[in-house]
Structure 1
């Protein structure tokens, strides 16, 4: 499988809710504790206080996983940052977003009507209808079988019918996956059928939730609810579901995303997972937060993403390249945030 810049950009979408205001001020970690928990050393604090962006290591749980974290201190208050993020400004102007929408409790096929193969994507629609287990599309065995049952009736279909059929079927799959996840959580995520095997995003996301240890000590109820969803969320937490269609490796792809935000005066934390991705990678998990720091806000986030593209021969080199690409995209996002908030340009700390 290819592992391109566009795939990394989609993985990074979940960072769009970084700075939503933490649990209680009493339970929240101090900025110094947070820095220590995330492996940011004392030598990096002066860099942060100069407005530089620093990276920190995040443990990877398998050969398929890429993980990295970044942090910075911004000289603006947490409420100002939270307002910026809540208004959706962080993703404004991103050319690879084809469409996106929220999914409420009454989601139906019509909820995905803006998610469509266009006439210019007819070849992609045809490839979807003819898909077989492999790495071109992330679909379950049942989904592949459903497509196969359609093929005989489409032998003489014109392009308009093929396009309509592909869109209808893909939306059905997305709705079914959303409903299964909301009913059973991680256990409801069907594995992707590969040629001779499977990829299991549920297991990947479960490992990610278990290994989110830095915040779990401060928010054990939130972490357990996240791991055991649809268990009840803590009283101070809210959730959102959304779909998006983005261009990844020059192809449209559908993504289903679930995020939970905990709010209080002491800061903010968001956990977010992409529990279905159409192709190129399997899943993505984000833990992000903002804490008051002196007269500003300490912001940081970590991403764990699983992709078959970094496993196998040359895995170490692939991981190194993949992490560096991901880190660059994360830094660009923070730099753009700095620019939009009309602050001085954010710089990147020199590698030690």
Structure 2
């Protein structure tokens, strides 16, 4: 069961905290944040010992997996910020094959590093021959486009097939990006399944509505998250990023939108994967960072929607999926903690 999480997005929060002006809303105190997430006295003691603790995040459907983790990193916010700004996150995210930040005027060339390689020729051929189902997350218009290519590819050699697959996928990514930037959640096309569909827009809308633990402190941000591309609150910045991530040992393209709202007392980052190439439908990360004693208290939670945990045996699938997701989240926090401790001079230097 593939549970891949946008971990770097969560920790970019700390980078933004060190550079951005204060927000209009007050961030919660560390104690308030711990209480909001149901982290009790015993778990606080674990945090103070440098352990990672989990907390419950409500799931909104049979398709959703949700969980949160928290840790006190024994370094200041500025050190985490420098680490991230210098591009060190790839060291702890081995499943990312390629990524790039998307500028204000994207084109299909913006995705040129997304490519099926010669070794992934079978994947490229499967994409070109895709049908309704969950092997690839594609809309009706995208499937129709692929179907229209079939006559001209009947006698094509492998080089032509690979080139066509890459060019076509990049066009799909650009179209989905532009549709989202223009219409927000309303611009996200559904994935066509055999006899039905999956609706990432509805999933992400539900996630935004149900993210109440942080919304009480950032109500304007929650509204912007729901009504994007409406104007963002003051002192809020955004990023668009694409990823090529290895999921189920397959390359998958991901389109990611982030909002960052920060202040001297803490901040928050919202990150949604509004297009995922296969295996799961969508994902939302909410992450927060607060100065805590001599370090930084980091919270981050993820809601991930996948058809693979619905249906018969759903309860067991959810239990297994949450545990897998938590293990991955914990592993990456441990890697980050170890790396920051190992390179304090390098990370802090400017």
Task: Give the structure-2-normalised TM-score.
Answer: 0.93
Q: What is aligned with 1:63?
A: 62
Q: How many equivalent pairs are there? A: 339
1:9 counterpart SS class: coil
Q: Relative to structure 2, which stretch is displaced further, 164-173 or 83-92?
A: 83-92
Query: Could you tell me whether the CA contact under 8 Å between 2:25 and 2:218 is conserved in 1?
Result: no
Q: What is aligned with 1:213?
A: 212
Q: What is aligned with 2:291?
A: 292
Q: Distance in 2 between matches of 1:130 and 1:147?
A: 7
Query: Could you tell me whether the CA contact under 8 Å between 1:77 and 1:296 is conserved in 2?
Result: yes
Q: Distance in 2 between matches of 1:11 and 1:318?
A: 21
Query: Could you tell me whether the CA contact under 8 Å between 1:216 and 1:223 is conserved in 2?
Result: yes
C-alpha displacement at 1:267, in angstroms? Answer: 1.2
Instruction: Tell whether 2:170 aligns with 1:171.
Output: yes
Q: What is aligned with 2:348?
A: none
Query: Could you tell me whether the CA contact under 8 Å between 1:286 and 1:302 is conserved in 2?
Result: yes
Query: Could you tell me whether the CA contact under 8 Å between 1:14 and 1:273 is conserved in 2?
Result: no
Point out where structure 1 has 5 or more consecutive residues left out of the alignment: 344-352
Please list the CA deviations of residues 60-117 of structure 1 after superposition, one character each: whole Å capped at 9, or x if unmatched.
0000000000001122212222222233322325332211111111100110111111
C-alpha displacement at 1:35, in angstroms? Answer: 0.6
Point out where structure 2 has 5 or more consecutive residues left out of the alignment: 343-350
Q: What is aligned with 1:9?
A: 4
Q: Segments of 4+ in structure 1 off by > 6 A?
A: none
Instruction: Tell whether 2:254 aligns with 1:259.
Output: no
Q: What is aligned with 1:155?
A: 154
Query: Could you tell me whether the CA contact under 8 Å between 2:220 and 2:233 is conserved in 1?
Result: yes
Q: What is aligned with 1:101?
A: 100
C-alpha displacement at 1:145, in angstroms? Answer: 0.6
Query: Could you tell me whether the CA contact under 8 Å between 1:26 and 1:266 is conserved in 2?
Result: no
Q: What is aligned with 2:346?
A: none
Q: What is aligned with 1:136?
A: 135
Q: What is aligned with 1:33?
A: 32
Q: Distance in 1 between matches of 2:177 and 2:257?
A: 10
2:229 counterpart SS class: coil
Q: What is aligned with 1:338?
A: 337
Q: What is aligned with 1:350?
A: none
Task: Give the structure-1-normalised TM-score.
Answer: 0.93
Q: Distance in 1 between matches of 2:94 and 2:58?
A: 31
C-alpha displacement at 1:25, in angstroms? Answer: 8.8
Q: Distance in 2 between matches of 1:236 and 1:18?
A: 14
Query: Could you tell me whether the CA contact under 8 Å between 1:16 and 1:91 is conserved in 2?
Result: no
C-alpha displacement at 1:18, in angstroms? Answer: 4.4
Q: What is aligned with 2:313?
A: 314
C-alpha displacement at 1:296, in angstroms? Answer: 1.7
Q: Distance in 2 between matches of 1:78 and 1:16?
A: 10
Please list the CA deviations of residues 293-315 of structure 1 after superposition, one character each: whole Å capped at 9, or x if unmatched.
12221111000000000000000
Query: Could you tell me whether the CA contact under 8 Å between 1:205 and 1:285 is conserved in 2?
Result: yes
